[in-house]
Structure formats: C-alpha cells, structure tokens
Structure 1
Amino acid sequence: MNPQTRARTAAYLSRFFPVTDLKDDDDLFALGFVSSMFAMQLVSFVEHEFGVTVEEEDLELDHFQSIAAIDAFVARKLSAPAAR
C-alpha cells in the first residue's frame, strides 16, 4: 500500500464519515456511509487527486469499497501504459 495514497484517501473520507479509526479494509458501502451521490464524488476525488481517468469499465464497487481497494486501483491505473 502506498502510504501517501492511503493518507490522502483517509483524509478525504474523514471529512464525510464520523469515524476516526477507519481501517484500510473496512467496507465503506457495508458501513452505510456511501450513497450513490457520494460514490460519484469518490470517483471524482480519485480522478482529480491522483491524476487518473476512471473509465466506464472501472466503475465497479470492488475498486472503491475500501481505502485498500482505492489504493490498489490507483496503483494499477498509474502503472498501466498510456492508451494511444
């Protein structure tokens, strides 16, 4: 896990969730914190904060359900070769 990605994601989430001890693998959706509107805000945050493009095929719950999932998704996107 990239500590910087983790910290930036946790800081963003802490602005919206009343949880101070959110663990990396806590399921944000199962905890009841994420609405469909916030899910789109989260996608926008990931794109702008980490400079990645979230494609339509990337819009899967698994990519955004926890801090660890977001970190792994960002790492994959940043390491993928640029589309031509």
Structure 2
Amino acid sequence: MLDTKTRIRSFLGTRLPGDLTDDEDIFEAGLVNSLFAMQLVLFVEQEFAIQVGNDDLERDNFRSVNSIAGLVERHVG
C-alpha cells in the first residue's frame, strides 16, 4: 500500500502543473481555487476514510503535502 504522502502527491500531480515539493504552499502559489479546495477535502475523506470536521477546514491543514499528511495522521492515529 502506498504511503500517505505518495497518495497525496499522486492526487495533486494529476491536477496541478509542475512538480511540487512536500512543503510547497499550493495556496500561496495560486494553484487552488474554491472548487479545487472542495475536491481536495473530498479526496482526503475518501482516500483515507476519515471525516474532515469543521475544525479541520483551515487553510493550514491543506497548504502542502506535509500539512495534508499531518491532518491525515492526526485522524488515523
């Protein structure tokens, strides 16, 4: 089974241009619009079988591969 960061990189790689580093801020780079932000939340919920609650819906949790992986790890345990 692929590790968390690999799965996140794969998803982002099919939807965003160029190669991202694990700590590159996709919001600051202008790569995220509101529709993609919702798709990202849905991906995380479905791919990792977790529920992203209202408290988790902060930009800091979705800025980069590392921050998304951190969110997942906090939920998965």
TM-score by length of 1: 0.87
Question: Deviation per CA, 1:4-32, whole angstroms, max 9, x where unpaired?
Answer: 1111000100111111x310000010111
Q: Which runs of 5+ in 2 are unaligned?
A: none
Distance in 1 between the 2:17 and 2:58 partners?
25
Select the structure of larger CA radius of gyration. 1
Cα offset for 1:56? 1.1
Aligned to 1:82: none
Structure 1 gaps, min length 5: 80-84
Aligned CA-pair RMSD = 1.0
Secondary structure at 2:3 match in 1: helix
Question: Which aligned pairs between 1:1-84 and structure 2 lie closer than 5 A?
Answer: 4-19=3-18, 21-79=19-77
**How far apart are 1:67 and its partner, in Å?**
0.1
- Distance in structure 2 (CA, Å) of the matches to 1:9 and 1:52: 14
Greater than 6 Å deviation, 4+ residue runs: none
Structure 1 CA distance, aligned partners of 2:73 and 2:55? 17
**How many residues were matched structurally?**
76
